[in-house]
Amino acid sequence: MEQGLVLAALLFAMGLVGVMVRRNIILILMSVEVMLNACGLAFIVAGARWGQADGQIMFMLILAIAAAEVSVGLGLLLQVHRRLGSIDIDKTSRLKG
């Protein structure tokens, strides 16, 4: 069971590094997906450890959050691409850019 939590922590760290390092908005959204998936993995492993269904229910809520987040995020990405002609996040560092 500890291995599962270690794996979740590693995946989360990778997603965090991806969010901080990458400058492409699509890749940043994908890194956020990796982080959410790592949280779900931690919930599932912990739920299996105690034999309770709560972990899987939390995983389903994380799925709903991920779906809502990615739809709004990709809509924003289309807007940024339309207005700035680029999906580089550094181009959006100024307000009213």
Partner 1 sequence: MSVELFLFYMAATISLVSTVLALTRYNATHALIYLIISLLASAIIFYLVGAPFAAVLEIVIYAGAIMVLFVFVVMMLNLGAQGDTLEHEWLKPGMWILPTFLCLILFMEMVYVLSGSSHLLPGTAVSPKEVGIKLYGPYVLAVEIASMLLLAGLVGAYHLGRRYLMDSRGED
Q: Which residues bind partner 1 (CB under 8 A)?
A: 1, 3-4, 7, 10-11, 14-15, 17-18, 22, 24, 26-27, 29-31, 33-34, 37, 40-41, 44-45, 47-57, 59-61, 63-72, 74-79, 81-83, 87
To partner 1, the closest distance from the beta carbon of 47 in angstroms equals: 7
Structure-derived torsion over alpha carbons of residues 50, 51, 52, 53, reported in degrees to the nearest 10: 140
**Comparison of 4 and 93: residue with beta carbon closer to partner 1:** 4
Please give the span between the terminal C-alpha atoms of the chain, in angstroms, as a whole number: 48
To partner 1, the closest distance from the beta carbon of 93 in angstroms equals: 20
Total residues found in the chain within this entry:
97
**Closest by Cα among 33, 41, 23 to 90:** 23
